[in-house]
Chain A
Amino acid sequence: MVEGVVELIKGNFSDVEIVIPEHQEKRVHISVEKEKVKEIAKFLKDNGFRHLSFITCVDWIDEGKFELVYGLYSYEEKIVVLIKTKIDRDNPKQETLLPLWDQAQTYEREIHEMFGVYFDGNPGLTPFILEDWEGIPPMRKDFDSRKYSQITYDSEAK
């Protein structure tokens, strides 16, 4: 079944890198340019991958990149497709998937709050879980949680 999905993607998109991870037969990882994410997501949605499982973000600080990972699931084939794309860490911007899936809002809001990634075209990137947070987004690798905790919570106010 996975081969069918790989064929389908390869037949319609030329420059995508497709990996089937070892020991995980029901998964397909595709790495694409950030401009192509929406196009491929739309294509997969029309071909059975109707469910957006999650969007998540990885901070590759040494490369200077954020990696966005979109998980799509097909109820018929029972296959997970992960669309991976790397975006610039200094100017993290990506096109929103709101027009395709409404539930993208939750994930995009969270990634915006925790990593500082802007999603172009998403009107609702308001504060989400954190309350009165000042300073850099806490899930970035250059945020020192231990130091912040020691300064803020380990000493009494003077």
Chain B
Amino acid sequence: MLESFRGGKVARWFKGRSMWLLHFCTGCGAIELPPSMTSRYDLERFGIIPMASPRQADVLLITGYLSVKTLKRVITTYEQMLDPKYVIGFGSCTINGGMYWDSYATINKLDYYLPVDVYISGCMPAPDAIFAAFLELREKIEKGEANGYKLYKIHYERYKANQDKVFKNRGIIEGED
């Protein structure tokens, strides 16, 4: 009974209406979040609120460019989140590197390293675009199509190989507090 509820249509309807956003900001896209969250646009109308802990969050919003150093932390964070979890790539930097496409420090394509469910194009995307992305994500969740976290498990070897290509020393994170 419980199993069928978890994967069922009703559960998906609820999931799509309480997407909790991990408060993890990278790059310049973070500047679009305060107007989206505060009273003018008010993300909470859609059941989206920022969460401080990855254990309680459903959505990881990558707001802009990622340096290799940040990517390492993002992946650690992503792996700490509980299923079901979704990733939104925000801005052109996550799609093809954007204006940092030839930088030695930033990655170009986010989906080599993490499964991305929805992309928002543009530099910068305005709050409207964030809403469009969240509504698309909600639609995908309701249809059962937002399966990035499952793909991450299935293709774990491939993602790991891509990550290892840019991380020379993975263990350095563990030495920190």
Contacts and interface: CB of A to CB of B under 8 A. Distances in A.
Contacts of B162: 156-157
A152 interface: yes
B108 A153 contact: yes
Nearest to B164: A157
B161 A157 contact: yes
Interface stretch (A54-62, A68-76, A143-151): A143-151
A152 B165 contact: yes
| Chain A interface mostly | loop
Contacts of A146: 102
B108 A138 contact: no
Interface residues of B, number: 24
B39 interface: no
A153 B169 CA distance: 17
A149 B99 CA distance: 13
A143 B102 CA distance: 12
Interface string A108-134: 000000000000000000000011101
B166 interface: yes
Given A143-B104, A153-B109, 13 more contacts: A130-B69, A130-B105, A131-B69, A131-B172, A132-B168, A134-B168, A148-B104, A149-B104, A153-B107, A153-B166, A156-B161, A157-B158, A157-B164
Interface of B: 68-69, 72, 97, 101-109, 112, 158, 161-162, 164-169, 172
Interface of A: 130-132, 134, 138, 143, 145-146, 148-150, 152-154, 156-157
